[in-house]
Amino acid sequence: MRMFDYILRRLISSLLVILIIAVTLFLIFYMFPSNPAQLSCGKPCSPEQLRRVSAFMGTDQPWYAQLGAYLLGIFAGRTFGTGASAVVCAAPCLGYSFRLNEPVTTLIAERFPVTASIAVGAAVLWIIIGVGTGVLAAVKRNTWVDRLLMALSAIGISSPSYLIGLLAIIVFAFELPVFPSGGYVPFSRNPAGWFSHLLLPWLVLALINAASYTRITRTQMIGEMEQDYIRTERSKGAPESVVVGRHALRNALLPVMTMFGLDLGSLLGGAVLTERVFSMQGLGMLLLDSVTNLDLQVLVGSTLFAAALVIVANLVVDICYSFLDPRVTVGR
Amino acid sequence: MSHLLRRHPTHSRRPRSRFASPSILWGGGIVLFFVLLALFAGPLTALTGNDPYSEHRSLLGPRSVPLGFGGGISPSHWFGVTPLRGVDLFSIIAYGTRVSLGIGLASTLISVVIGVAIGLIAGYFPGVTDAILSRTMDVFFGFPFLIFAIALSAIVPDSFPRPLLLILVLGFFGWPSIARLIRGQTLTLTHRGYTSAAQVMGASSTHILLNEIMPGLLPLLIVRLTLSIPGRIAAEASLSFLGVGINPPTPSWGRTISDAVAWALVDPMYLIFPGLALFLVTFGFNLLGDGLSDALDPKAVIRAEMTETAETSKTTATESSTRNSAPAVVQQGGNR
């Protein structure tokens, strides 16, 4: 029952955090200097037009009414304007792009598969590579294997992913045309094309990100290997593979998983640099385009979506955690 | 880096040899090189009579590609000139160092002030204060900073100087990892004998925090700061690469990399020079930070990373469950 209480508490506090972020984003983006109606109205904008656009978007209301409509929209949907010209934005309404004439939720749903394909594929690769090399480095501590892996990881950590991505495109798409230079093919249309377009971004992102996982896994493994229970295990005559694999690794992985959840969650909200380098129209490009077009509703909607993903990822990690290590359910 | 946890012989740990490790010497050397480059960007470029703005179109061949070897490398243009406009690339890199380091260091300063204050308060006043501050740290820690910074660039008026904006944004989002370290250490140090002694003697909280606790966590703080700078430099470069950071004509490595993409096949050096500069400065700071953390008691560093973890876990309850970490090295703002 304590587990259930814990999960419920975490769920409520996560929702609360998302709500606070939503309010903050609203205050920063809608209340600050910019005038959303002016932006949507376009260049030759008469005062009469501006007033109509304002009324349509609801920006002629006092700020608290706007905030209320915005928050309510997330849970219950909202309608802009009245009568024949009314625009319905179904729940969860993260805003409505008056430029693209689409609810932000729809835009996000269209782009999400692209970003998710990049993020999940790369994440699977980097966790395998990172944990594998990290354990190897810890087990072979202070040998040339360890030094080589640590040197490689120091290089990886210091390399900007977009630079490596650009160099990879030059080498593997132009000099030796093995991979396409960019673009995205939906899985449903052509699975092989989907795979071949994603392989290069996956590898680049995975190798760069694996570098920090190597280091953390190594640090955690070394820390675990010095604990008393490992010594007990060894003195009982357990084979080294059991000591490392079943005992040390299991405990060392807990913090690695936390970081993994955070990283994957934030990448799912928009792999901006990768999408830009490999010309993929994911959430990151949606965001960049909306900066260029000053599409405020899309900006706020996709930022909120990205923030919520991280919170959800955290929640999932914490819940998994509470099963692996029930001690966390005690206490505040 | 690889010297982490090497077993020292029991005696003879002379401090001088500890701080003369290859990581510190190489990392420190690279960092020093870039600091000097930033400081003397003016005189250095004056040697060849260049600046990062003047155009030398006479050096460009057909289709505006620089003539000559390596993008027009010559005694007067050490790194060649840029395609299209023929601006001296060395000047761009040298002045770009100022922007990179300046933003990295200034934003660190802001993060330190916020992070140390919040970390000390959270660690020293358990209960509600700690709970609220820790929750705030968690939210900031996980917040998709890059995405927020991109979105913010759309609504901040053009008249607001971009370097200042980046300093503020990076500073304001960079404090949680510092606060978390300070909080964890404060929790530990509060229960040391000398702190209790000061309390018994009636010292004020401020006195205890500043005079008893702060000195104990200074070494770890310095390591953490050194390791947080490359992430900030990378974040500035990423944002400028995406076109939402430093605006032209102010030189910026990230923007130069982005400009160079279209020319990469005909003039690869245009991409390689700023890319190498960005890589090297990041690498230098990482190496230096690693070296410093090894030079301190390595076990203390690992212990700190492992206890800190307890705080990282969003809800973690007891200090004894020392799991969960996102140690310093991972704070790579713009590497996704």
Q: What CATH number does residue A190 fall under?
A: 1.10.3720.10
- Of A35-44, A139-148, A293-302, B254-263, the range with the lowest mean pLDDT is A35-44
Q: Are B145 and B244 in contact (CB under 8 A)?
A: no
Residues B302-324: tens digit of each pLDDT: 556 555 544 443 322 222 222 23
What was the pLDDT predicted at A36? 65
Q: State whether A190 and A260 are in the same domain.
A: yes
What was the pLDDT predicted at A314? 85
Q: Is the Cβ of B39 closer than 8 Å to some Cβ of chain A?
A: no
Task: Tell me how far apart the alpha carbons of residues B227 and B173 are, in angstroms, rounded to a whole number.
Answer: 15
CA distance A84 to chain B (A): 32
Q: Which of A93, A119, A144 is the last residue of a domain?
A: A93
Give CA angle at A164 (B247, B332), nearest 5°: 65
Q: Are B225 and B108 in contact (CB under 8 A)?
A: yes
Largest Cα–Cα separation, chain B: 81
Task: Tell me how far apart the alpha carbons of residues A75 and A15 are, in angstroms, rounded to a whole number.
Answer: 12
Closest chain A residue by Cα to residue B239: A273
**A100 falls in which pLDDT band (50, 70, 90)?**
confident
CA distance A251 to chain B (A): 8
Task: Tell me how far apart the alpha carbons of residues A332 and A186 are, in angstroms, rounded to a whole number.
Answer: 46
Q: Name the residue among B139, B146, B313 with its Cβ closest to that of A321.
A: B313
Contact A311 B4 (CB under 8 A): no
Chain A residue numbers with beta carbons less than 8 Å from the beta carbon of B313 are 258, 318, 321, 328
Chain A residue numbers with beta carbons less than 8 Å from the beta carbon of B262 are none
**A44 falls in which pLDDT band (50, 70, 90)?**
low
Q: State whether A39 and A167 are in the same domain.
A: no
Chain B residue numbers with beta carbons less than 8 Å from the beta carbon of A255 are 309, 312, 323-326
Q: Which of A42, A60, A93 is the last residue of a domain?
A: A93
Give CA angle at A253 (A250, A259), nearest 5°: 160
- Residue B254 Rama label (left phi>0; alpha psi -120 to 50; beta): alpha
Give A325 or B224, the one with higher predicted confidence: B224
Question: Is A11 a domain residue?
Answer: no
Q: State whether A83 and A115 are in the same domain.
A: no
Q: State whether A47 and A185 are in the same domain.
A: no
**B298 falls in which pLDDT band (50, 70, 90)?**
low
Residues B228-275: tens digit of each pLDDT: 899 899 999 999 999 898 988 888 999 999 988 888 888 888 899 999
Tell me whether residue B69 is exposed, middle or buried, using C-beta atoms within 10 angstroms of its C-beta: 0 to 12, 13 to 18, 19 or more. exposed
Chain A residue numbers with beta carbons less than 8 Å from the beta carbon of B150 are 272, 287-288, 291
3-class DSSP state for residue B60? strand
CA distance B224 to chain A (A): 15
Contact A294 B2 (CB under 8 A): no
Place of tokens 């600050």: A32
Mean pLDDT in residue range A30-46: 67
Contact A306 B147 (CB under 8 A): yes
Split into its structural domains, chain A has a count of 2
Q: State whether A124 and A83 are in the same domain.
A: no
- What single-letter amino acid sits at A14? S
In the numeric block, which tokens belong to residue B250? 């102010």
CA distance B275 to chain A (A): 7
Q: Are A178 and B33 in contact (CB under 8 A)?
A: no
Chain B residue numbers with beta carbons less than 8 Å from the beta carbon of A306 are 144, 147
Computed over every residue of chain A, the mean pLDDT equals 84
Angle between helices A63-76 and A2-31 (to 10 degrees): 130
Question: Is A19 a domain residue?
Answer: no
Give chain A as a 3 state SS string. CHHHHHHHHHHHHHHHHHHHHHHHHHHHHHHCCCCHHHHHHCCCCCHHHHHHHHHHHCCCCCHHHHHHHHHHHHHHCEEECCHHHCEEECCCCCCEECCCCEEHHHHHHHHHHHHHHHHHHHHHHHHHHHHHHHHHHHHCCCCHHHHHHHHHHHHHHHCCHHHHHHHHHHHHHHHCCCCCCCCCCCCCCCHHHHHHHHHHHHHHHHHHHHHHHHHHHHHHHHHHHCCHHHHHHHHCCCCHHHHHHHHHHHHHHHHHHHHHHHHHHHHHCCCHHHHHHCCCCCHHHHHHHHHHCCCHHHHHHHHHHHHHHHHHHHHHHHHHHHHHCHHHHCCC
Closest chain B residue by Cα to residue A119: B336
Looking at mean pLDDT, say which of A190-194, B98-102, B130-134, B175-179 comes out highest. B98-102
Q: State whether A225 and A250 are in the same domain.
A: yes
Specify the pairing of strand A78-80 against strand A87-89. antiparallel
- Torsion, Cα B212 B213 B214 B219, to 10 degrees, reads 110
Question: Is A304 a domain residue?
Answer: yes
Q: Are A271 and A284 in contact (CB under 8 A)?
A: yes
Q: State whether A67 and A156 are in the same domain.
A: no
Mean pLDDT in residue range A248-270: 86
Chain A residue numbers with beta carbons less than 8 Å from the beta carbon of B234 are 160
Q: State whether A58 and A156 are in the same domain.
A: no
**Around Cβ A63, how many Cβ atoms within 10 Å?**
12
Q: State whether A84 and A157 are in the same domain.
A: no
Q: Is the Cβ of B200 closer than 8 Å to some Cβ of chain A?
A: no
Place of tokens 């500069």: B277
Q: Is the Cβ of B257 closer than 8 Å to some Cβ of chain A?
A: yes
Q: Name the residue among B144, B268, B325 with its Cβ closest to that of A255.
A: B325
3-class DSSP state for residue B66? strand
Q: State whether A109 and A81 are in the same domain.
A: no
Question: Is A320 a domain residue?
Answer: yes
In the numeric block, which tokens belong to residue A6? 């814990």
Bridge partner list, A87:
A80
Task: Tell me how far apart the alpha carbons of residues A93 and A103 are, in angstroms, rounded to a whole number.
Answer: 7
Please state the pTM of the whole predicted model: 0.85
Q: State whether A134 and A203 are in the same domain.
A: yes
CA distance B320 to chain A (A): 9
What was the pLDDT predicted at A29? 83
Question: Is A22 a domain residue?
Answer: no
Listed residue (A262, A275, A276) closest to A309, CA to CA: A262
Q: Are B312 and B135 in contact (CB under 8 A)?
A: no
Closest chain A residue by Cα to residue B309: A255
Q: Which domain holds residue A137?
A: 105-329
- What single-letter amino acid sits at B206? T
Chain B residue numbers with beta carbons less than 8 Å from the beta carbon of A329 are 317
**B124 falls in which pLDDT band (50, 70, 90)?**
confident
Question: Is A238 a domain residue?
Answer: yes
Listed residue (A118, A136, A304, A325) closest to A202, CA to CA: A118
Tell me whether residue A271 is exposed, middle or buried, using C-beta atoms within 10 angstroms of its C-beta: 0 to 12, 13 to 18, 19 or more. buried
Q: Which of A93, A117, A138 is the last residue of a domain?
A: A93
Task: Tell me how far apart the alpha carbons of residues B264 and B261 are, in angstroms, rounded to a whole number.
Answer: 5
Looking at mean pLDDT, say which of A41-50, A143-152, A177-186 comes out highest. A143-152
Question: Is A1 a domain residue?
Answer: no
Q: State whether A141 and A185 are in the same domain.
A: yes
Question: Is A291 a domain residue?
Answer: yes
**A214 falls in which pLDDT band (50, 70, 90)?**
very high
